[in-house]
Amino acid sequence: MSSSGSAAAKRALDLGLTLAALPIALPLMALVALWVRLDSPGPALFRQERVGRGGRLFRIHKFRTMRVHQSGSGPQVTAAGDARITRAGYWLRRSKLDELPQLIDVVRGDMSLVGPRPEVPSYMAKYPDQARQRILSIRPGITDRAAIEFRHEEQLLAASDDPETTYVQEVMPIKQRYYLDYVDNHSVAGDLRIIFDTLRKVFDL
């Protein structure tokens, strides 16, 4: 299949699965949004600038998991036990339900269901130029093999005296290898396997 045909098939998979999931996801998202609002002052959604396909910046959507006056302060990475995390945020991050609003980003075309996780600009700038260009040649995703491998990343970072340095020097190089492998070898069948494995891990808390 040509690259354009592969991209079209991937986009069709994204829209088909997302639109099929929305009748179930939207009521759940409404309940989670209400929980977030009742748990701590502030909006239900958190928006943050990330780097998308072709280096274009977009605003990713998540459920807010931090206190509103602290969500923009401190390190860009979050370790387990971070004092900024709300009570609801702890459970949302553990269950990965905070990622649900990214279905909006998939419908908008900013993200795919599967692909390299989008980084903030300051971290994406640390990737080697050639690797960065390859990774940004496709839409970023809600999940991928790196996201599955580092499902408990916050616990890993909590064991470090300097979580941000640990992320940049130890975690990012491993994620980069996963991302580049995905760019070179992704397929519709492969995406379906990653989605299945992600759901299996989410429900195996």
User: 49-84 pLDDT, tens per residue?
Assistant: 999 999 999 999 999 999 987 555 566 778 777 889
Residue 137 belongs to domain spanning:
3-202
User: 121-147 pLDDT, tens per residue?
Assistant: 999 999 999 999 999 999 999 999 999
Could you give the percent of the chain with pLDDT greater than 90?
A: 80
Three-state secondary structure readout of 54-103: HHCEEEEEEECCECCCCCCCCCCCCCCCCCCECHHHHHHHHHCHHHCCHH
Overall number of domains in the chain: 1
Which whole number is the average pLDDT over 41-48?
A: 96
pLDDT at 1: 58
- d(Cα 55, Cα 145) in Å, to the nearest integer? 22
